[in-house]
Structure 1
Amino acid sequence: MVPGSVEDRRYLVIVNPVSRGGKAQEEGIWLLNRLKRAGVEYEALFTERAGHAEEMVVKWAEDFDVVVSVSGDGTTNEIINGVMKVPSSRLKLAMFPAGTADDFACNMGYDRKDKEQALRAILGNTCRTIDLIRYDDRYAAVTFGLGVDSEIADGAYKWKRFRIPAYFYSGLKKCFLEERKRYFVRFDYEGQTFEDWVLIAILCNAPLFGRYIKIHPEARMNDGILGLTIGREMPNVYGLVLFLFACLGGRHGFSRKVSFHQVRRMRVECKTDTYAQIDGEVYKFDAGRVIELSVVPGALKVLVPPESLRNRKLPFVAREELPEPRQLQLIPSRTGVAEDLEALSRRVKSRVEQALEAAREHRRRIPVPGVREGRQQSFDLQREEMRLVRRAARRLRKELGKGG
């Protein structure tokens, strides 16, 4: 067996069942069904609360080779922080995009609508090593932002089931109907000081966030440098115009209100109460809060689709991935997984399998039309598989809703 091959690997699959308005549960069932059919050794867990994914990774990281995030950016951020808390583990991250924006997955080259591509990445050996943003004692993979974008995200939470349209609605409401907050900040970076009112300020490890917004076009995820975009205080309508230009491939740099910088280390002081978004999750910092930020080069290994290495539009500096060094294992790896994890995972697998079997039984009662040939047959099989998964997800939601 080739070291690092699927036969050698142990997978921990973490599903956030409420991500993407509850659709992530369907994505998780689809993936677990495929992994079982492929004969892959895996354990599966569903998150139950904020911070749960990080707790699970910290507790069981050393039992696994790959952790798969079936979720959006918020839960993926939790998983990354869990991985970084266990430096002795050699855990790689793989994505199965199931969030609202999936900024991290998209920047890594995943197509958020292509399940088969994500499955190939999970089972493959193609890997990228990326930098991370460290803020105080925690980490972010894509962005650390202050200002109106965080305020808009906070306003969109109550309509989050509508996903991306909720953010546009919140932004337009903030622009034309509500009085937004104003933010006074001080940045100390690379021997320079910025102290002024800002509309938005985002420290970027990657150029793309909010699915469509190329906020810092030159940001790269493996160059050891972070991009800083500062948008000074400006009228709402002018800010909306610049937002549209940012969505058109990051063409907002023409404005004197916008400046781009490159930093390795940075100190932020919030002079007023300030909304912040960190990998899509919203926080509120009180006036006087000081945050130390820095880049952590080569911090995390991520499995990616093989074709993504040929995509020159992705935010990476071209460099060869070095083979992993073989290290002497003074303490032998466990031969099994912890009993409590195995019990939790067995319960998840059992529920998923029961829901799938019930959905199959329901399908058997319905007459099946004649089988067509060629591409149409393949399409029909895929559509039927998704119908099966959706029925299983509905049944599983009902069961979990009863507290079973």
Structure 2
Amino acid sequence: ASQAGSREADIHTAGEIWRAHGWQVEMQPTRGPGDGARIARQAAADGFDVVIAAGGDGTVNEVVNGLAGTQTALGALPIGTVNVWVRELGIPLQPRAAAEALLACRPRAIDLGRAGDRYFLLMSGIGFDAAVTAEVRSSEKRRLGIFAYLLRAVNLATRFRGTVARIVIDGKPIRTRVLMVVLGNSQLYGGLVKVTSRASIDDGLLDVCIIKGRTLWSAPFRLLSLITQRYNIDP
């Protein structure tokens, strides 16, 4: 309850900062999946200049799916678990400082990736990381933060198996056994490691990182290459 109260206080403070600088601010709470996209879509239809997602990367993703293809800008107030998008942009992680930084921001056009019928702003993962994300519960994220993902990853690592996949990149097919494939519109993976270090959010491209292997324990050097950023020269 105290954490929720802190988030509400941060949002209230941010609103006061923006209003003090002449912004007209309307607050809309989300109560469940899909609310962020619906609210953002309606805001764009109503002619709002910007929609600021107050939350983490899940909230940002919801808002992106409501704003895609519109002229309404996206902003983010970091009160989530990891806040990768905010880290990617270099916006302060402290909510008050982030609110003040947003006052000086200027709109820019950026790329979006698409997986099925949903857009993504950062990355889309297939394999191990997607399995970890699917296993992390919301209650664990609230209680443990980023450690919820790390604990699930350790638990899953002992039983996860790679699968043979056929991947087509720029028209060239690749058939191999993979543990994980990451398509990056941005660079930071989990806010910590630059898995797709050459990616840019406005170059019109998605970068691809493929981790090969049968089990996580069979590919320690490839996993180490993520940490040391030697994967760009690892075939």
**TM-score normalized by structure 1?**
0.52
Is this contact kept in 2: 1:212–1:247, CA < 8 A? no
Distance 2:78 2:12 in 1: 13
Aligned runs of 1:338-357 on 2, under 5 Å?
Answer: none
Give 1:297's aligned residue.
Answer: none
Identity score, percent: 25
Q: Give SS of 2:154's match.
A: helix
Aligned runs of 1:19-30 on 2, under 5 Å?
Answer: 22=4, 24-30=7-13
Deviations 1:354-404 (A, max 9, x none): xxxxxxxxxxxxxxxxxxxxxxxxxxxxxxxxxxxxxxxxxxxxxxxxxxx
Q: Give SS of 1:44's match.
A: coil
Is this contact kept in 2: 1:187–1:193, CA < 8 A? yes
Give 2:82's aligned residue.
Answer: 101
Q: Give SS of 1:220's match.
A: coil
Distance 2:32 2:221 in 1: 38
Distance 2:223 2:193 in 1: 8
Give 2:153's aligned residue.
Answer: 171
Change (3 A) 1:25 1:223: same
Is this contact kept in 2: 1:186–1:194, CA < 8 A? yes
Give 1:69's aligned residue.
Answer: 53
Is this contact kept in 1: 2:43–2:51, CA < 8 A? no
Distance 1:102 1:240 in 2: 28
Is this contact kept in 2: 1:104–1:142, CA < 8 A? yes
Q: Give SS of 1:112's match.
A: coil
Distance 2:166 2:120 in 1: 21
Q: Compute the RMSD of aligned alpha carbons.
A: 2.4
Give 2:172's aligned residue.
Answer: 192
Is this contact kept in 2: 1:62–1:90, CA < 8 A? no
Q: Pick the aligned partner of 1:148 from 128, 134, 151.
A: 128
Q: Pick the aligned partner of 1:53 from 30, 36, 39.
A: 36
Code of the residue aligned with 1:218 in structure 2: it is R
Is this contact kept in 2: 1:70–1:97, CA < 8 A? yes
Give 2:230's aligned residue.
Answer: 251
2:71 is the counterpart of 1:79: no
Change (3 A) 1:78 1:114: closer
Code of the residue aligned with 2:94 in structure 1: it is K
2:66 is the counterpart of 1:111: no
Give 2:210's aligned residue.
Answer: 230
Code of the residue aligned with 1:251 in structure 2: it is R
Change (3 A) 1:128 1:159: same
Give 1:43's aligned residue.
Answer: 26
Change (3 A) 1:197 1:242: closer
2:205 is the counterpart of 1:221: no
Distance 1:168 1:254 in 2: 27
Change (3 A) 1:108 1:114: same
Is this contact kept in 2: 1:147–1:201, CA < 8 A? yes
Deviations 1:275-301 (A, max 9, x none): xxxxxxxxxxxxxxxxxxxxxxxxxxx
2:108 is the counterpart of 1:128: yes
Distance 1:31 1:164 in 2: 24
Query: C-alpha displacement at 1:245, in angstroms?
Result: 4.2
Is this contact kept in 1: 2:124–2:183, CA < 8 A? yes
Query: C-alpha displacement at 1:199, in angstroms?
Result: 0.3
Q: Pick the aligned partner of 1:202 from 154, 163, 182.
A: 182
Q: Give SS of 1:153's match.
A: helix
Code of the residue aligned with 1:247 in structure 2: it is I
Which is bigger in relative contact order (C-alpha 8 A, separation at least 6)?
1
Distance 1:94 1:41 in 2: 15
Distance 1:163 1:211 in 2: 13
Distance 2:146 2:219 in 1: 19
Query: C-alpha displacement at 1:31, in angstroms?
Result: 1.1
Which structure has the larger Rg over C-alpha atoms?
1
Change (3 A) 1:150 1:51: same
Is this contact kept in 2: 1:27–1:70, CA < 8 A? no
Unaligned runs of 5+ in 1: 1-17, 257-404
Code of the residue aligned with 1:110 in structure 2: it is I
